[in-house]
Homo-oligomer: A and B are copies of this chain.
Amino acid sequence: MPKLKSDIGFFFNPKSIAVIGASPTPGKISNVIIESLKRAGFTGGTYPVNPKYKTVGDIKCYGSISEIGKEIDLAVIALPASLVPDALRGAGGMVKGAIIVSGGFKESGKVGISLEEQVRGIVENDGIRVMGPNCMGIYDTISKVDTFFIPADRIGRPKRGGISLLSQSGSFAGTMMDEMAYEGIGVARVISYGNRVDVGEAECLDFLAEDIDTRMVALYVESVDDGRLFVDAAARCAKKKPIVAVKVGKRGSGEAAARSHTGAMTGRYEIYRAAFRKAGIIEVGGYEELKEACKALSIYDPAPGRRVLIISDGGGIGVNLADSCEEQGLEVAGLGRELQNSLSSFLPSFCSVQNPIDLTGSVVDDWYVTALREGLSDDYDMAILALMWGPPQLSERLIDRICYAIKELKKPVIICTPGGEFAKGMNRILGERGVPVFTTPESAARAAAVLARD
Contacts and interface: CB of A to CB of B under 8 A. Distances in A.
Interface of A: 27, 103-104, 107-109, 150-151, 153-156, 167-176, 178-183, 220, 222, 246, 248-254, 256-258, 260-262, 285-289, 291, 310, 313-320, 322-327, 332-334, 349-350, 352, 354-356, 358, 360-361, 388-392, 418-424, 440-443
Contacts of A334: 253, 256
Contacts of A173: 316
Contacts of A310: 253
Given A246-B320, A361-B171, A253 B355 contact: yes
A354 B441 CA distance: 36
Contact of A319 (B254, B360, B420): B254
Given A103-B350, A289-B442, A441-B288, A252 B182 contact: no
Contacts of A286: 320, 323-324, 440-442
22 contacts: A27-B392, A154-B422, A170-B361, A172-B320, A175-B388, A180-B420, A182-B420, A182-B421, A222-B316, A246-B320, A248-B323, A249-B323, A251-B322, A251-B326, A254-B322, A256-B334, A257-B352, A257-B358, A260-B352, A261-B358, A287-B320, A291-B440
Contacts of A220: 316
Given A323-B250, A441-B287, A178 B103 contact: no
Nearest to A168: B316
A108 B349 CA distance: 7
**Chain multiplicity (copies):** 2
A319 B103 contact: no
A222 B391 CA distance: 22
Contact of A104 (B27, B246, B350): B350
B420 A156 contact: yes
Contacts of A256: 334, 354
Contact of A314 (B103, B172, B182): B172
Given A103-B360, A182-B420, A352-B257, A171 B317 contact: yes
Contacts of A254: 319-320, 322-323, 326, 332
A289 B440 CA distance: 9
A183 B246 CA distance: 29
Nearest to A418: B175
Nearest to A422: B154
